[in-house]
Amino acid sequence: MVGGLGDEPDVASPEVLLCRVCAMPGGADDRHPGATRDDAQTCVVEVEHVTVEPALEARNLHKVFGRNPKDAVRRLKAGATRSDVADAGTAAVIDASFTVQRGEIFVIMGLSGSGKSTIIRMLNGLNEPTAGDVLVQGRSVGDASPKELRDIRRSSISMVFQHFALLPHRTVLDNAAYALEIQGVGRDERRRRAQEILAKVGLGDRAEAMPDELSGGMRQRVGLARALTAGTDILLMDEAFSALDPLIRREMQEQLVELQRELGRTIIFITHDLNEAMFLGDRIAVMRDGRIVQNGTPEEILTDPANDYVAQFVQDVDRARVLTAGAVMAPAAATTPVSAGVRGALRVMRDLQVGSVAVLENRRYIGAVTDRAVVRAVKAGTSDLRSIVSSAQPVVGPDDPLTDVVERSVESPIPIAVVDDSGRLLGTIPRVTLLAALGNVDPQTTEIPIIEAPVTVPEAEFAQTLAAVGESAAVGEPVGAGASAAPATRASTRATNADATNADAPTQRTAAAATVAAVPAASVTEGGV
């Protein structure tokens, strides 16, 4: 999203459960104030939209260094570029607007000279904007008096620097407690709180060490501990991990994510490393020449870049670590309730021309069955679908990265099921969809040519199987079925049936239909859900 107040989307208000009687947040087991356990005065809840104030807002920020910054801003607002106003000054930031929600990791990313570090210095008042304003929890930084600005920095915002900025004559513990000392917290209390945070960042046993006794990664942990100990709601991190070795850097990134989940702090992180931004950020603002050229989630930036610059920026990103199962999954078209029995599962496979179906019970995923298992059950006279459901099929959650999906896909001949925390089926990921997402190509493939080869099982056997459950073989045969249909190898059948998963690909279903008509179901080993 291009920077600018007019372009900023409306902030979605979270849904809060409020009792219609006492107007207090409540749930099914909560009681009205004053009610005893024996009273039946339980709260009656309803969903109401409650506006939650964002942690930080940047509104049309401009920063120009030079002889005539006000004139440069006027010309920039009229449509001039950074180079057009070079005679008046250097435009470091141009019309940057964004909102950071509480508990969010918001990453500002760009190459050197893009203006990202200038922005972060405006957020806490180190640099005064030439135009625009910053609101920290509703308080204007631009309108704040020196005393109010100091209070904002002490109580609302902490900063973690790239080169640690530790006091070399103080111990690790005293460095971590320094922010509390500035706030006037007593020695024993501040040391106790600092010790707790040091333990969280893995330095509990180095509290009495001096900074020069620590490695680079340890020093950065001390800097992070100092910011966390301050107890502020917002952390500003300017290239905080850029000076670290790759392995230590990755470890620090993972630790930061864990700490954010545990402590719920709001983090604004500056980086020039796209992989770091994609790993850390809930949302990312991409900057170029002082402007925000796109603002969105990692998936949005990766799959729908705003312009060629962003597209080139993200082309070498490790997509498997950024994209999630929920971002690439396909709708689960081939499903059947367990109560439908073997006959119902076979009918779904026949109608959709797929080699497997997902089995649901009370709308929850309990496993899958393949065409081969269904054919065997019919021949054995079994009608209970539950008895042949394979519950060992791997599943993933919607937030699992594709690295996890790839690992599970190796173990499964059928599409991977994506389920929520309650076990409800959200979608599936066929292999063709997974490969398309990793390769950044369209999953809508063309029809696969069928290679003629001897059929190992007579076609009549498939018709007999359908007849055994009271279905007409002719009904199940697509156009071209019969002796004139081209036989297929097992490999081509697998590929065709896997592609047939996508309900929006008619050419795939046509190829699958011709294949299933020509090859008995017993020879199909892989299909799409």
Domain boundaries, the chain: 8-52, 166-231, 321-529
Question: Tell me, what's the pLDDT at 23?
Answer: 54
- What is the fold of 321-529? CBS-domain (3.10.580)
| DSSP for 12-62, written as a single string | PPPEEEEETTT-SB--TT-B-TT--TT---B--EEEEE-----SEEEEEEE
Is pLDDT at 499 greater than 90 in this prediction?
no
Higher per-residue pLDDT: 496 or 291 = 291
Q: How far is CA 268 from CA 9, 234, 276, in A?
A: 19, 8, 13
User: How many degrees, rounded to 5, is the angle at CA 288 between CA 257 and CA 115?
Assistant: 70
Listed in sequence order, the DSSP H helices in 53-186 are 69-77, 116-123, 146-155, 172-176, 178-182
Query: pLDDT band at residue 37, thresholds of 50, 70 and 90?
Result: very low
Identify the sign of the CA torsion 350, 351, 353, 355.
negative
**For residue 499, which of 434, 452, 410, 405 has the smallest C-alpha distance?**
434
Least confident of 305-314, 350-359, 447-456: 447-456
pLDDT tens string 308-350: 999 888 888 888 888 888 888 988 888 989 888 888 888 888 8
C-alpha dihedral, 317 to 318 to 321 to 322, nearest 10°: 30
CA atoms of 355 and 352, how far apart (whole Å): 9
- Please check whether residue 230 is in contact with residue 190, taking contact to mean a CB–CB distance below 8 angstroms: no
Strands 283-288 and 291-296: antiparallel
**For residue 497, which of 372, 365, 338, 360 has the smallest C-alpha distance?**
372
Looking at this protein, which amino acid is placed at residue 442? D
Is pLDDT at 179 greater than 90 in this prediction?
no
**Can you tell me whether residue 185 is helix, strand or coil?**
coil
**For residue 333, which of 430, 227, 209, 234 has the smallest C-alpha distance?**
430
- Percent of the chain beyond pLDDT 70? 73
Identify the sign of the CA torsion 201, 205, 210, 215.
negative
CA atoms of 192 and 487, how far apart (whole Å): 76
Q: How far is CA 55 from CA 105, 107, 113, 123, 156, in A?
A: 11, 14, 27, 12, 9
Identify the sign of the CA torsion 14, 19, 21, 22.
negative
Higher per-residue pLDDT: 457 or 420 = 420
The owner of tokens 């009229």 is 78
Strands 139-140 and 131-136: antiparallel
Question: Tell me, what's the pLDDT at 80?
Answer: 92
| DSSP H or E run through 358 | strand 356-361
Question: Tell me, what's the pLDDT at 102?
Answer: 92
Residue 405 burial by Cβ neighbours in a 10 Å radius (0-12, 13-18, 19+) = buried
What does the mean pLDDT of the chain come to?
78
Is pLDDT at 12 greater than 70 in this prediction?
no
pTM of structure: 0.67
pLDDT tens string 458-480: 556 656 666 665 654 444 443 33
Least confident of 177-181, 205-209, 419-423, 434-438: 434-438
Rounded mean pLDDT, 393-399:
87
- Please check whether residue 362 is in contact with residue 519, taking contact to mean a CB–CB distance below 8 angstroms: no
- Residue 414 gets the label, from left (phi > 0), alpha (psi -120 to 50) or beta, of beta
Query: pLDDT band at residue 5, thresholds of 50, 70 and 90?
Result: very low
- Please check whether residue 104 is in contact with residue 283, taking contact to mean a CB–CB distance below 8 angstroms: yes
Question: Tell me, what's the pLDDT at 232?
Answer: 86
Is pLDDT at 30 greater than 70 in this prediction?
no
| Encoded tokens for 97 | 């607007």
CA atoms of 74 and 34, how far apart (whole Å): 61
- Please check whether residue 43 is in contact with residue 32, taking contact to mean a CB–CB distance below 8 angstroms: yes
CA atoms of 427 and 396, how far apart (whole Å): 10
pLDDT tens string 353-388: 888 899 998 888 998 988 888 888 888 888 888 888
Higher per-residue pLDDT: 249 or 418 = 418
- Please check whether residue 500 is in contact with residue 352, taking contact to mean a CB–CB distance below 8 angstroms: yes
| DSSP H or E run through 132 | strand 131-136
Question: Tell me, what's the pLDDT at 221?
Answer: 87
Higher per-residue pLDDT: 302 or 16 = 302
Task: Give helix 402-411 / helix 431-439 axis angle, nearest 10°.
Answer: 140
What is the DSSP code (8-state) at residue 396?
A: E
Rounded mean pLDDT, 8-24:
48
Nearest-Å Rg of the Cα atoms of the chain is 30
